[in-house]
Amino acid sequence: MYRQEKPGCPGKAWDNSKVRIVPMILRSAAMIRNRTSGQSYIRTLHDICGRNAWVLFFLESQEKNGHMVFQKDIESCLSMTRSGVSKLIKGIEADGLIKRQAVPEDARLKRIVLTQRGRELTRLAQEEKERLDEDLCAGFSQEELEGFASYLERFMENMKAAPAAEREGRQDGHDKETV
């Protein structure tokens, strides 16, 4: 059972009535960010963080499985708009980590592939990510980790559904019932 250590720490109300998930997630993310910011691989990767890293990891995993990746695949994977992914790809491409290649069957299509430099930096980042994952998961059983992963998946599904529900149920900042 989670217990808050001192007043003001994110997580749970002092009356133990309600678990506060968002502050716990944000605090955990900050701790991970602080831990990784000093790692040599981050200094080597300089701009490879956040969504850039997700794109590189996604490309690497898809290439291993023999799949071609197009911009729409990244849009779907990251739940981003076409223009947002386009800007993201342009930045990563400018860093020399990915390139666009015409598909022989249809020259209009451009698949996105890792460059040799992108592949090497992704490998280094993957190694550190695995070390961090081992540290984070120490002391948890496989069953606990699977349960936690399931909860996180549900959190993400709730977040995807929330904006649509807000648009349907709210109008100009007011509940439909009160309008």
Domains by residue range for the chain, with CATH: 1-37 (no CATH), 46-130 (1.10.10.10)
Q: Is the pTM higher than 0.85? A: no
Please report the pLDDT score of residue 40 as a whole number: 56
Contacts 24+ apart (CB under 8 A), 170-175: none
CA distance 17 to 131: 36
Q: What is the pLDDT of residues 43-74, one digit of tens each?
A: 555 556 667 888 998 999 999 999 999 999 99
Structure tokens given for 66: 């023999």
Crossing angle for the helix pair 82-94 and 50-64, to the nearest 10 degrees: 80
DSSP tally for the chain: helices H, then strands E: 7, 4
Q: Is the dihedral of CA 142, 148, 151, 157 positive or negative?
A: negative
- Extended beta strands in 104-145, E state: 106-114
Q: Report how far apart the first and last C-alpha atoms of the chain are (Å, whole number).
A: 42
Torsion angle (degrees, nearest 10) of CA 33, 34, 38, 41: -10
φ/ψ of 111, rounded to 5, equals -85, 155
Q: What one-letter code names the amino acid at 41?
A: Y
* Residue 130 pLDDT class (50, 70, 90 cuts): confident
* 22-46 pLDDT tens trace: 888 888 888 877 776 666 555 555 5
For residue 12, is pLDDT > 60? no
